[in-house]
Amino acid sequence: MAQSVKPVTSPVPIAWYPTLAVIMLAIGLTVTASFFIYEATASRKSRSLFKELTTGAVASVFLGFGSLFLLLACGVYV
C-alpha cells in the first residue's frame, strides 16, 4: 500500500520559477501602469467600468502569480 503512493510534485519545473516570476511581474506591472494611465487621461464621462474591472482583474492575476513564483524561487514554499 505505501509503495503505491506518489509524492506531491509541482506541475511546473522548479528551474522555471525565476523566469515565470520575472515575466508575470513584468506583465502585471505593465497592465497596472496602463490602468493608471487610463484613469489619469480618461474623462469621467468616457470611462468604462467593464474596461476598468477587466484591466484590474488581469493585473491582479499576473501580479498574484508573479508574487507566488517569486516566493517559490526564493525558497519560501507557500
Q: What is the pLDDT of residues 50-62, one digit of tens each?
A: 999 999 999 999 9
Alpha helices in 6-75 (DSSP H): 17-41, 49-74
Pull the grid cell for residue 10: 509541482
- What pLDDT, in 10s, does the model give residues 18-34? 999 999 999 999 999 99
Residue extents of the structural domains in the chain: 15-74
How far apart are the C-alpha atoms of 76 and 68, rounded to whole Å? Answer: 9
Count of residues in the chain: 78
Q: What is the pTM of this model?
A: 0.85
Using CA atoms, how far residue 53 sits from 42, 50, 60, 61, in Å, is: 15, 5, 10, 12
